[in-house]
Amino acid sequence: MIRVVVLTGAGISAESGLKTFRAEDGLWEKHPIEEVATPEGYQRNPQLVREFYNARWQQLATADVEPNPAHRALAQLEQAPEIELTLVTQNIDNLHERGGSHHVVHMHGELAKARCPSSQQVFPMAEPFSEQALCTCCMPGEILRPHVVWFGEMPLGLDRVYHALSHCDLFVAIGTSGTVYPAAGFVDMASQGHAKTLEVNIEPTKVGSHFQYSLMGKASETVPQLVE
Ligand code: BV8
């Protein structure tokens, strides 16, 4: 059994039409991180943050946003009998699942889910976020917040990821700039074990030197080649 950990970032969904974060026309271009991806920003201007996530949720729901061959290749890898795959994504879109993956660790949360701020109960997102979108788990119902991990909040599923990293034979990072921690430090954790490490991207990243190997190219072309 070959134990593989794959970390994906916004770059794997770029060819599906979803913006990345730090490119020129990226998601943060109009909205500094502090305004839309921190609890303080949400406290300061909840409507702006709700609009930011509603817009991304609506885009994800449009017909022309589809999983690309990279998502589908990772779903194939999950089925390979000789591979034990842990797929962890920083992405909050559902393209891995729509591409056929069944076990995905969404360490930064999920766009199509909402959370009650007091009970932390998670609900499928049935309507856009608004002051009227109340949870049904407490009285009076609290305004539901996006089920995403903001800066300063604890990422999800880390125990499972750290365990997989400490035992894996291969760590692959696909389409991530290596800007955000603790995800950007996963390569170092894998290297402390016996893992081989590979970065797949269209350009060198700030953590590129931490990887033993790198594969430059578009994920929709490189990832299927890797999986074959
Ligand atoms: C935390 C919200 C406590 C949802 C996001 C050290 C250790 C631990 C924490 C820190 C640390 N140092 C600093 C911190 C604090 C902070 C942090 O990292 N700050 C940064 C700015 C320095 N981290 C946190 O606050 C985290 N929580 O630390 O809790 C803790 C402490 C210790 C241990 C554990 C916990 C919480 C971070 C989560 C923040 N929330 N998003 C949302 O709105 O989406 S982060 C945001 O950035 C997204 O989630 C996104 O996924 C993530 C990373 O971005 P990328 O996915 O890499 O996207 P990017 O655009 O940057 O890059 C795209 C890449 O794709 C590029 O390289 C591009 O070349 C490539 N590409 C493009 N097209 C293609 C392609 N590649 C291949 N093919 C293509 N076609």
Task: Cite the annotated binding site for substrate by residue number.
Answer: 53, 56
pLDDT of residue 31: 81
163 assigned to active site = no
For residue 17, give every residue at least 6 positions away whose Cβ sits within 8 Å of its Cβ, in sequence order, or none.
59, 64, 65, 66
Query: Alpha-carbon Rg of the chain, whole angstroms?
Result: 18
pLDDT band for position 7 (cuts 50, 70, 90): very high
- Cα atoms in the 13 Å half-sphere on the side-chain side of 76: 12
Encoded tokens for 85 = 């795959």
Q: What is the pTM of this model?
A: 0.95
**pLDDT over 80 (residue 204):** yes
* pLDDT beyond 90 at 159: yes
Instruction: Taking residues 184-203, report their average pLDDT.
Output: 96
CA of 67 to the centre of ligand 1 (A): 21
Rounded CA gap, 151 and 108, in Å?
10
Smallest CA separation from ligand 1 atom 43, residue: 37
Residue 23: pLDDT band by 50, 70, 90 thresholds?
confident
pLDDT at 104: 98
Write down the pLDDT at residue 27: 73
From the CA of 92, give the closest atom in ligand 1: 44
Answer CATH for 19-64+110-148 from 3.90.170.10, 3.30.1600.10, 3.40.190.10, 3.40.50.300: 3.30.1600.10
Per-residue pLDDT band for 64 (boundaries 50, 70, 90) equals confident
Ligand 1 within 6 A of 41 CB?
no
Q: What percent of the chain has pLDDT over 70?
A: 100
Has residue 25 got a pLDDT over 90? no
Q: What is the pLDDT of residues 110-146, one digit of tens each?
A: 999 999 999 999 999 888 999 999 999 988 889 999 9
Helix (H, G, I), strand (E, B) or coil at 167: helix
Crossing angle, helix 69-79 and helix 219-227, to 10 degrees? 20
Distance CA 92, CA 98 (A): 13
Tell whether domain 1-18+66-108+155-228 is in CATH 3.40.50.1220: yes
Q: Which of 71, 108, 147, 210 is catalytic?
A: 108
User: Is it the case that residue 60 has pLDDT exceeding 80?
Assistant: yes
